[in-house]
Amino acid sequence: MGNLCACLSARPAKRRTRPVKPLSNPPAAVASNRWSRVRSSGKDKFDDSALIREQAIAAAILFRQQQQQHNGSIPPFDRSTSLRYPNSSSKRQSLPRSSSSRARSLTDHLIQPHQLVNQDVKIADLETNHFVLVHGGGFGAWCWYKTIALLEEGGFEATAIDLTGSGIDSFDTNGITTLSQYVKPLTDFLEKLDQGQKVILVGHDFGGACISHAMELFAHKISKAVFISAVMLTSGQSTLDLLKQAAASNEIIQQAQIFLYGHGNDHPPTAIELDKSLLRDLLFNQSPAKDVALASVSMRPIPFSPLLEEVSISDTKHGSVRRFYIETLEDHAIPITLQEMMISSCPPERVFRLKGADHSPFFSKPQSLYKLLVEISKIPPAS
C-alpha cells in the first residue's frame, strides 16, 4: 500500500518527469541476470532443478496467457507480464505445499486445528468455491501465484484479475482518470457471471477500495468479501482520506515516492511508483528474496486519480455482502494501527490475524493465508 500512501508525504515529493511511452521489453541480459542469481544460505536453500522447473512452468503459463489475449498469435515475450501457475492435475485432500520452490519458512506456521471451526464442511456444500483475487496498487495478478496454486490444489476455483494498467494489461497508467475505469476488468468479469453464480471477492491493499466499488454494483453476485491488509472505506471516503495519517510518519514511504507527470510538470501528477531499491523494506520485509525479485520486474505505477475519488456505497447493496478482514501484523506499508482504525470505523463480520506477515502475505505467509481463505469460505451465515 506504500505506493498509495506516497502522495501524502509531508515533505516535498521528488518530481521526476517521465514521458508517456508504451511499455517495452527490458534488455534480455538484464532479465537473464536477475533470474539467474540463486542466493544460498543456511536458512534459505532450494534445489537448482526445482528452480529451473518453476521458471519453465512460469514461462509456459505466460506464453499461454499471451496467446489467449492475441487470439492464438504469438506476441513478443515481455518480462513484466503476469505470473501464475496452472491447474494441478491432482486434487489432494490434505493441505497442499506452497508453489514456492523454497522450503516453507519456519515462521509460516500452519494454523492449528483448534483455530478452525468449520473443518467438517465439504467444498461441495459451499455456496461457492470460486475465489476472485484482486491485487493492490502497483501489483498485478502475478502476485497471487502461490495462492492460486494452493487453492486449486485444495479443490477450489481461483481467478486473479489484472486491473487496468496492471500486470499484463497494456493500458497506459497515466491515462486512467477514474476508479471505475481502473476497476473495469473486475466489473466486466462479474457482469459476465452466469445467473445465480456467486464468488468470494478477495482484495489486497488498494484492491480493498476496488472490491468495495464492485460490491456496490454486483452485491447479488458476491457471497463474501475478504480484505487483506486492505483499504476498507465508508461512503464518502477516498483512499487518500484513510492513508494520510500513516504517511506523514513513514520515512520509508517518503524516501520511496516517485511522482510521474505524464502530462508535464505544469499539470497534476498522473501516477506514482516506488523506488525499486526500497521495495523489500516497505512491502516485503518478511518475504523470500525471489518473490522480491519477481515484484521488482513486475510492479507497475498506480494511477493517481482513483486514489482521490470518494466512493459511494450503500447499506442495501455494499452493506449486504458479508465482510471479513485479515490483519498483517508485520506490515510496514499499512501498519496494524491503521488496519484496526478501519476495522473500528466499519466493523466486518470477523477479523483474523496473520502473525509474522508483512504487507504481502501471499509471499510471506502463503500457507497460513490459504488456510484462512478456506476457513472464511466455510463460515455459515449467522443464525
Q: Do 124 and 130 touch, CB atoms closer than 8 A? A: no
Residue 127's CB is within 10 A of a number of other CB atoms, namely 14
Q: Which of 169, 205, 291, 358 is catalytic?
A: 205
Q: Compute the C-alpha angle 297/75/23, nearest 5°.
A: 40
Nearest to 110 by CA among 375, 368, 317, 377: 368
Q: Which of 135, 331, 332, 358 is catalytic?
A: 331
Q: Which of 135, 204, 213, 359 is catalytic?
A: 359
Give the span between the Cα atoms of 180 and 379, in whole angstroms: 30
159-164-170-172 Cα dihedral, nearest 10 degrees: -160
Active site (annotated) includes residue 205? yes
**Pairing outcome for strands 157-161 and 15-16:** unpaired
Q: Which residues, including other chains, have CB under 8 Å from residue 162's CB and lie 6 or more apart?
A: 82, 135, 140, 141, 168, 169, 185
Nearest to 163 by CA among 190, 143, 144, 136: 136
Active site (annotated) includes residue 331? yes
Active site (annotated) includes residue 213? no
Residue 35's CB is within 10 A of a number of other CB atoms, namely 16
Catalytically active residues are: 205, 331, 359
